[in-house]
Amino acid sequence: MSFKAPTRDMLFTLEHVAGLPAIAALPDFEDAGIDTAAAVLEECARLNEEVVAVLNRDGDLSPSTLAEGVVTTTAGFAQAFRQFCEGGWQGVQHPVEFGGQGLPKLIATPCIEMVNSANLSFALCPLLTDGAIEALLTAGSDEQRRRFIPNMIGGSWTGTMNLTEPQAGSDLSMVRSRAEPQADGTYRIFGQKIFITYGEHDMAENIVHLVLARTPGAPPGVKGISLFIVPKYVIDAEGRLGPRNDVWCQSIEHKLGIKASPTAVLIYGDDKGAVGPGAIGYLVGEENRGLEYMFVMMNSARFAVGMQGVALAERAYQHAVGHARERVQSRDVAGSSGPVAIIRHPDVRRMLMTMRALTEGARSLAYFAAALSDLGHHGTDEATRRRDSAAYEFLVPIVKGWSTEMSIEVASLGVQVHGGMGFIEETGAAQFYRDARILTIYEGTTAIQANDLIGRKTARDGGAVAREILAQVRETASALAADGDARLGAIGVRLARAAAGLEASVDAIVASFKADTHAAYGASVPYLSQAGLVLCGWQLGRAALAARALLGDPVADRGFLEAKIATAQFFAEHLLPRAAAHGEAVAAGAGSTMALDESAF
């Protein structure tokens, strides 16, 4: 089943939900209006539909291989990556001064979605490179930016994030890799890093590893971690490639999904390179502030992984719709002369509507968050920038955690729509299900996102940002309830009820956080799920209001606009009620969660 980028829905969401006109009014983005967005998305869609998507199945069947420290990616990946970078897609949102296009994050976001829909394994390489660029833009020296960023934007070099070690999964306080200072100001890096996405490959001439390690005498725990640039090939003062550094790929993992993406085990300091023992590294910023800097990269990656969830859900939905239109089986339950396409059956329609509504809701929330990021960085008023940045930070764990959990449900429904054929690899539905399963794990599990949402984003400020967002939700609910269309009115009533339930959860978390930490964190994932449902329902409600207003335009695409309203209505009636159940779990706390003695398990 071929992939077709949903550019019409993307452009509608950009303009009427995320507020692209307000972004285009910012001083840095005067040329980034809807016409620019349409042109960018059209070209991006062409590349991903015609080049990247056609390699998706090949990558699953013929994944990357390792031989004598050299990783060979799936046939066609290297050529596709060159086309991707030559088209400027690695630099869509990065500064013009380093070779980027300097467009808003809001326009870059559907581009990120498209490449991930087309080929999740392929897209991980530019995703990690984006994160490395963001980290160096934030914390790198002028010389480091000049030396490394243009080549990463141009695609001749790629970037990685090296956090995890065998004994240190999500707990980075356990990192043991060491960095020994040298007389010339460089460091020698020793240690082992695991789960390094595109840690070794043949798609670019150099790989820029961003590595967490400890310097001698560093404080214990996370306060003693520093960040280093460790290139695969050492770079001279003029930016030319020098000798092979002492970092090597020991193995690549055999995985459930995203098989074409090489997930490497990297060894630093095994004296295999041409530079002597210890990989040559360059300190980023100050010693012992590495985790702070790495969080810039992690935050970028977490948002992008949330977009992977949206992207994979979109691909699984398209695949399921295509099958449901073609598969003929059983008579219509209301009677028919013979078997009908299964898309006529009510429960198949329910599954497809669930897939569609979840995907569109998550897309709308993510694009809205991207707009907040642009406003937070480029707005003209400092107080407003702080407010928008805080709202964006609040939404990131929801975009990451909820959208990726959603993608597993959507991919699973895609298998179900295919019936028994969905369990057969040849139909392709199973690959989306397998690929989706990693999204809730890497770049911070759902629980880590939920703990962040509970602790740093809700309890720390007494729920202030959450309540500001909920005030906007209530405004939308009131506008829906006051609309003359009964469908919108019903959406408004349900949204107002769900918002009240989420506010009660915010109150409960703030009240219990210090008194009973287990109770608060035991309810963290239900709280994240409740927030995801309510806030996606909010964005779909806003989309329905915009669609209703546009129906008055005589040249409007009425079918598309009516579908937006119907999707919002389905979400409100069939999915938003789930939020109440999550709210009950939050209110119940973690008493029963922690009730059993460990020996009882």
Q: Active-site residue numbers?
A: 443
Cβ–Cβ under 8 Å, residues 126 and 66: no
- Residue 168 token pair: 């240190």
Strand bridging mode 187-197 / 263-268: antiparallel
Cβ–Cβ under 8 Å, residues 260 and 60: yes
String of b and e for 538-548 (b: at least 16 CB within 10 Å)? bbbbbbbbbbb
Q: Dihedral of the CA atoms 367, 322, 573, 495 (nearest 10)? A: 0
Q: Position of tokens 């497809």? A: 352
Cβ–Cβ under 8 Å, residues 433 and 412: yes
Cβ–Cβ under 8 Å, residues 325 and 131: no
- Give me the helices (H) in 379-423, please: 382-418
Neighbours of 176 (CB within 10 A): 13
Cβ–Cβ under 8 Å, residues 362 and 406: yes
Q: Which residues 6+ apart lie within 8 Å of 128 measured at CB?
A: 158, 159, 160, 161, 197, 198, 301
Cβ–Cβ under 8 Å, residues 481 and 493: yes
3-state class (DSSP) for residue 551: coil
Cβ–Cβ under 8 Å, residues 569 and 353: no
Distance CA 241, CA 235 (A): 5
Task: Indicate left, alpha or beta for 239 from its phi (over 0: left) and psi (-120 to 50: alpha).
Answer: left
Number of helices followed by number of strands (H, E) in the chain: 19, 14
Cβ–Cβ under 8 Å, residues 341 and 288: no
Distance CA 266, CA 196 (A): 7
Amino acid at 123: A
3-state class (DSSP) for residue 214: strand
Partners of 149 in the beta sheet? none
Amino acid at 64: S
Distance CA 373, CA 379 (A): 10
Cβ–Cβ under 8 Å, residues 157 and 128: no
Nearest to 46 by CA among 129, 126, 115, 130: 115
Cβ–Cβ under 8 Å, residues 258 and 438: yes
Task: Indicate left, alpha or beta for 444 from its phi (over 0: left) and psi (-120 to 50: alpha).
Answer: left
- Residue 17 token pair: 């939900």
